[in-house]
Homo-oligomer: A and B are copies of this chain.
Amino acid sequence: MRDVAIIGTGMTKFGSLGRVTSRELVTSAALEAMEDAGVASSDIDAVYIGQLSGDIFEHQMHAAPGIPDYLGLPNVPSTRVEAACASGGLSVMHAIMAVAGGFYDTVLAAGAEKMTNLPTTHVTEALSMCADDVFEVSLGVTFPGAFAMMARAHEKEYGTTAEMRAAVAVKNHDHALLNPKAQFHKKITIEKVVNSLMIADPLTLYDCSPITDGAAAVIVVPWEDRKKYDGIAVKVRSFAQASDTMSLHDRKDLTGFTTTKIAAQKAFERAGLEPKDIDILEVHDCFTIAEIMALEDMGFYKKGEGGRAALDGETRRDGSLPVNVSGGLKAKGHPIGATGVAQIAEITNQLRGTAGRRQVPDVEIGMTQNLGGSGSTIVCHILERGD
């Protein structure tokens, strides 16, 4: 198995982008990544695309061949992977596997979603199909509801407060102020979060990530080939994926995700690392409680300590463990298929020192956690600064 490098990243503006298709968004992000990597069209051997649902949002399935089509990559194999909001992470993971396994040399991994074509209620209904339709959705569960139940369980078990959750949103909005491609550039306060519209008790509007259009892309090559291209390389130290039951009622605990624990632990084992070795993190803050649970489940904080850490500012850009410096899903935006790719792009840029105004100094090793459904899919990656 070959070591693998990421040598280029690209990302469109995230937001409500109007009359544009996800295919066009991917094309923009991919061209940016190819230019950043110094890779030509003729170098690309295969394409992966993470997308939740082109059919519901854009009346377009079979997104995969559309990417090489628009990029002018004739006959290059292209595959779509889907695992709800973890589609992007799995896109990159499969590109890494394809290169590590020796099947292809230069792979474009992208992700995209064009969500704002539909009204909010339709989007919430569409996303709910990532939960268990038979046992949950038919009874009225949507994701704000599911994560509200988790927030309540976490509150009851560990005393995690609305203010602690709100601190996550405030931090990620602060971070997004430094990310020109983020959806929101708006400073908020704990009071504003706590007093905003109730969405699913106890989660308010500002506890929830927004509906977003956008695309992201990275270029993956064998580590030994990294010097062939101009792009600054980071090394893929490890990746790991885990699944869990579709329905929450089949799980023993609602205060965390077994999948996050397993995927993170495997990623650490495969990399020969521990939580203390990680300098920077992008985790899946689809709701504020999800960031708190992620940091606990990954082993960065004991269960019940994640909320306090947010409130104490430990996870801010200048804190002891910078988390979601990109703005996270909460403020950078959450175009489903793009999210996991954008997380990896952010960590890549941070480790290369190309993160611009939001650059965190002296980061050597970074990690991502990308979640699908009610944590039914989790994929983690660990990346290291290159030479």
Which residues of A come within 8 Å of B, CB atoms?
A: 1, 21, 23, 47, 52-56, 58-62, 64-66, 68-69, 74-84, 90, 94, 97-98, 100-103, 126, 129-134, 137, 241-247, 250, 258-259, 262, 372-373, 376-377
Contact = CB atoms under 8 A, between A and B. Distances in A.
A55 B126 CA distance: 8
A62 B243 contact: no
Nearest to A73: B243
28 contacts: A55-B55, A55-B56, A59-B133, A60-B129, A60-B134, A61-B126, A61-B129, A61-B130, A62-B82, A62-B129, A62-B376, A62-B377, A65-B83, A65-B244, A66-B376, A69-B245, A69-B250, A75-B243, A76-B243, A77-B243, A80-B82, A81-B82, A97-B98, A97-B101, A100-B103, A101-B101, A101-B102, A101-B103
Contact of A55 (B129, B241, B243, B372): B129
A82 B61 contact: yes
Given A65-B244, A81-B81, 12 more contacts: A60-B132, A61-B130, A62-B82, A62-B84, A62-B372, A65-B372, A69-B250, A75-B258, A77-B243, A78-B377, A97-B97, A101-B101
Given A129-B55, A133-B60, A79 B81 contact: yes
Contacts of A47: 243
Nearest to A126: B55
A47 B137 CA distance: 24
A62 B373 contact: yes
A62 B246 contact: yes
Copies of this chain present: 2
A62, A81, A134, A262: most-surrounded residue (chain B CB, <10 A):
A62
Contacts of A74: 244
B60 A83 contact: no
A259 B60 contact: no
A241 B82 CA distance: 19
A146 B376 CA distance: 38
Please name the 3 residue pairs, one residue from A and one from B, whose CB atoms are nearest each other, closest first.
A101-B101, A77-B241, A65-B376
A293 to B, nearest CB: 17
Contacts of A84: 61-62
Contacts of A250: 69
A243 B69 contact: yes
Contacts of A62: 82-84, 129-131, 246, 372-373, 376-377
Given A69-B245, A101-B102, A53 B64 contact: no
Contacts of A97: 97-98, 101, 103
Nearest to A23: B134
Contacts of A373: 62, 65
Contacts of A372: 62, 65
A82, A102, A244, A247: most-surrounded residue (chain B CB, <10 A):
A82
A242 B94 contact: no
Contacts of A131: 62
Contacts of A65: 83, 243-246, 372-373, 376-377
A65 B372 CA distance: 9
Given A55-B126, A68-B243, A79 B101 contact: no
